[in-house]
Amino acid sequence: MRGSLRKILLAVVVVAVLGALLYRARDAIGLKDFSWASLGETLRNANWWLLLLSLAAIYFAFLLRSLRWVRFCRYMGKPGLWSVYRSTLAGFAAIFLLGRAGEPIRPILIARKEKMPISSMFGIYVLERLFDAGSTVVIAGITLLLFPHLVAAGSESARWLAVARTTGTTLLLGLIAAVAFLIYFRLHGAQAMERRLESWKTHHGWRARIAGIFGGFSEGLQAIRTAADLAIALAYSAVHWTLIVLIYVWISHSFGGRLATVDMPGAMLVLAFSMVGSTVQLPGVGGGSQVACYIALTLFLGVESGPAVAAAVVIWLITFAGSTLAGIPLLMHEGWSMGELRRMARAEAEAEASGTHIPAPPEPHR
């Protein structure tokens, strides 16, 4: 009887995950030539072993993220890798379900599970975002500067290349400014800056938010105290993003044809566009990593529209939506409902407006 009950519960969880995935994805794919029917037809002819390899690899990439997070926490405590890994999967699933509003869920879950200060976990989160932004800039810079042959001839691709270079330059300047600020923190002390911004926390709006962000930087910087700390963090980041590039290669090759010619430099170009597209609005077409991925595949790599649409959608499903396959069951296992996640995200947004964070919530009722 217990075995039958477990099978029923497992089936319910699988159906719930697939339902949430389809519900969330129905309006999230912004490609004008996309249809689920054409995607299904393309997938029937795809190399499923490469797609399954890519899905397994993305879960290993989440493990690398968790290892980096645990390393960042070494001066604040000793969180368990398995616990951080589970919270990472659940946190990325929350982002998929709630959009940008779900981003605070991961540090909140880790703080609750590991009984660690929530401000420190948000500091680690800020530091992680800085490493990811830096990795994106490096990937984009290497691709645009060292592999100009990737750009197909034509005025349209030249226009988009100009947009990409402008965006990349802006990101690079932002990264340089952030690194300079971190160096200033190290040389002159974070406490002096925090004292200057203390009065800003009494305000509401952008001043309180800036004070809260600087506080996060201060907490996060406690994770990097030696050259070895920096070297190990860079190594984790390098392996993680190299694996992501390989995933882009494997997914492209799974469809055959022109996509099978996508190599590491080409995948780096597509990845760079996808990362930029996920954070900014591209001129004339809007935002979305699928749109940016489609543009890179068609205009720069010469892939036909149909296969490019399929590849862009599958890349998005595996690298972003793939976390829900384990993340949503983990959220359900922990007792978190969509309503509780929304309330938590809303409360954190209100707290950030005052330059603070919500306390780590208690265990939900199961």
- Answer yes or no: is 9 within a domain: yes
* Confidence band, pLDDT 50/70/90 cuts, at residue 65: very high
| Stretch 125-146: mean pLDDT | 81
- Answer yes or no: is 365 within a domain: no
Average pLDDT score over the chain: 77
The helix/strand/coil state of 142 is: helix
- Rounded Cα distance between 297 and 105, Å, is 33
- Rounded Cα distance between 175 and 171, Å, is 6
Residue 335 · residue 363 · CB < 8 Å:
yes
pLDDT value for 236? 95
Confidence check: pLDDT of 25 > 60: no
pLDDT value for 305? 83
List CB contacts of 318: < 8 A, sequence separation 6 or more.
Answer: 51, 54, 55, 58, 247, 251
**Tokens 């968790």 identify what position?**
66
Residue 323 · residue 89 · CB < 8 Å:
yes
Six-digit token pair at 83? 């616990």
142: domain range? 2-352
The H or E element spanning position 91 is helix 81-98
Alpha-carbon Rg of the chain, whole angstroms?
A: 21
Confidence check: pLDDT of 354 > 70: no
- Answer yes or no: is 359 within a domain: no
| Stretch 226-236: mean pLDDT | 89
- Rounded Cα distance between 188 and 24, Å, is 46
pLDDT value for 331? 87
Residue 60 · residue 243 · CB < 8 Å:
yes
- Answer yes or no: is 114 within a domain: yes
Confidence check: pLDDT of 166 > 60: yes
Six-digit token pair at 1? 């009887």
Tens digits of per-residue pLDDT, 191-204? Answer: 666 666 666 656 66
- Rounded Cα distance between 231 and 351, Å, is 34
Residue 38 · residue 309 · CB < 8 Å:
yes
Phi, psi of 359, deg, nearest 5: -70, 155
Tens digits of per-residue pLDDT, 267-324? Answer: 998 998 888 777 654 444 444 778 888 888 888 888 888 888 889 989 988 998 899 9
Lowest-pLDDT choice from 40-44, 47-51, 125-129, 253-257? 40-44
| Stretch 143-149: mean pLDDT | 65
- Answer yes or no: is 279 within a domain: yes
Residue 241 · residue 139 · CB < 8 Å:
yes
Q: Which residues pair with 286 in a beta bridge?
A: 282
* Confidence band, pLDDT 50/70/90 cuts, at residue 70: very high
Q: Give residue 11's identity as a one-letter amino acid code.
A: A
Domain count, the chain: 1
Q: Which residues pair with 282 in a beta bridge?
A: 286
- Answer yes or no: is 70 within a domain: yes
Q: What is the pTM of this model?
A: 0.80
- Answer yes or no: is 358 within a domain: no
Proportion of the chain above pLDDT 90, given as a percent? 23
User: Does 305 or 190 have the greater pLDDT score?
Assistant: 305
| Stretch 1-14: mean pLDDT | 50
How far is the CA of 261 from the CAs of 87, 201, 256, 264, 275, in angstroms?
37, 53, 8, 10, 22
**Tokens 């190299």 identify what position?**
242
- Answer yes or no: is 134 within a domain: yes
Handedness of CA 276, 331, 113, 347 (dihedral sign): positive
